[in-house]
Amino acid sequence: SERQCVDVIKRHIVGRRGMLISHNLDIVRELSEEIIVLCDGRIESRGNHQALLDDSPLYRRLLEKWDV
């Protein structure tokens, strides 16, 4: 059912801008052009998935915990 939800969202966001707030990093990676990582209410880093892997220790830790 998660796959169906992602597919529906993808169809509805084509050509539009919006904001997605989620703790599900798989969905965030798939649907986002830019990811903003928050820590204690502040922006810790922002960028695409690869840039965050390269530059954000917090993002890498979150991903490691998510992929366990």
Model-level pTM greater than 0.85?
no
pLDDT of 47: 97
Each residue's pLDDT, cut to its tens digit, for the chain (68 residues) gives 788 988 998 888 888 888 888 888 888 888 898 999 999 999 999 999 999 999 999 999 998 887 75
- Say which residues have a Cβ less than 8 Å from residue 35's Cβ, sequence separation at least 6: 28, 29, 46, 47, 48, 49, 52, 59
pLDDT of 52: 96
**Cα–Cα distance measured from residue 33 to residue 13, given in angstroms and rounded to the nearest whole number:** 12
Q: What are phi and psi of 34, to 5 degrees?
A: -130, 135
